Amino acid sequence: MRHMLDATREAQSLIRGKKREDLDSDRLLGLAVVRLLEVLGEAAGRVSKEGRQNNPDIPWPQIIGLRNRLIHGYDSVDMDIVWGIMTKDLPPVIGALEKVIRGT
């Protein structure tokens, strides 16, 4: 779960102060964000079944599914969806992961 938290924090730091259009105009930013989301999903897939069951606040199937979609659909990634995930979906995941890692 530490890798998940590290990837999400890094992804969030990359978009801080950015706009949606920056994902289109800054190719390296777009590639980096997508890669970090892939890492997030890969790390989530490595969490034990028990670890996932004990942490139901984390949307495990969606995170793992996102990784699969990004890897296998690399040629048709919708950056509007990526931006939505980054700005709306990841902040609560970060909070949940921080809570788990703190043990609270």
16, 27, 72, 102: the active-site residue = 72
Q: How far apart are CA 100 and CA 20, in angstroms?
A: 30
3 is an active site residue: no
3, 9, 16, 67: the active-site residue = 67
Alpha helix stretches (DSSP H) within the chain: 2-15, 22-25, 27-45, 49-53, 60-72, 79-84, 90-102
67 is an active site residue: yes
Contact call for residues 62 and 12 (beta carbons, < 8 A): no
Active site amino acids: 67, 72
